[in-house]
Amino acid sequence: MKKGATALDADHRAWAVTASFVLTGERATYRMIVPDRPFDPATGRWGALELAGRYQWIRFDDALFVNDVFADARQQVRGAHAWGAGINWYLDRSFRIMLDYDRTGFLGGASSGGQEIDRTPEQVLIGRAQIVF
């Protein structure tokens, strides 16, 4: 990256891990799960239920923050780590309902009295209904 006459070959690091488990026994895939027993309350069929979790981390190269040329550590984060959990309810092959919670913590990104401090963590709860056709 380059800003004016200053050039930098930044070395950022990141990774993530995700896992899920289908509680109702259907085959887990990267695509939408197809319930073995599609939603039909009259016959006691409730579709498929999946639990999911994720952890992720990113760290930006410290060289970005030297002399505030590319970034100001009192305003921009140096890194972040986040975890999330979700539940997915597949009613049939074309309809699902999802509820996810995520929390992200930050390294830096705020200041107090001229001193760099960590930005306040962020939390989000997201619900979604999806029709696939």
Residue 59 domain-assigned? yes
Q: Residue 72: phi, psi to the nearest 5? A: -100, 115
Residue 17 domain-assigned? yes
Residue 35 domain-assigned? yes
- pLDDT, residue 84, reads 98
- pLDDT, residue 2, reads 62
Residue 92 domain-assigned? yes
Residue 80 domain-assigned? yes
Estimate the share of the chain in helix, then strand, then coil, as percent rounded to the nearest 5. Answer: 10, 55, 35
- pLDDT, residue 69, reads 65
- pLDDT, residue 65, reads 77
CB 84 within 8 A of CB 102: yes
> Is residue 48 packed enough to be buried (19+ CB in 10 Å), middle (13-18) or exposed (0-12)?
buried
Residue 50 domain-assigned? yes
Structure tokens at 109: 């990104």
- Does pTM top 0.85 for this prediction? no
Residue 95 domain-assigned? yes
- pLDDT, residue 94, reads 93
Spans of the chain below 70 pLDDT: 1-7, 67-69
Residue 1 domain-assigned? no
Sign of CA dihedral 92, 95, 99, 102: positive
- pLDDT, residue 106, reads 94
Domains of the chain: total: 1
- pLDDT, residue 108, reads 87
- pLDDT, residue 100, reads 98
> Residue 58's domain spans which residues?
10-131
- Three-class DSSP category at 132: coil
Which residues are CB-contacts of 33 (< 8 A; sequence separation ≥ 6)?
A: 22, 26, 27, 48, 50, 88, 90
Could you list the beta-strand ranges (E) of 23-121: 48-59, 77-92, 95-112, 115-118
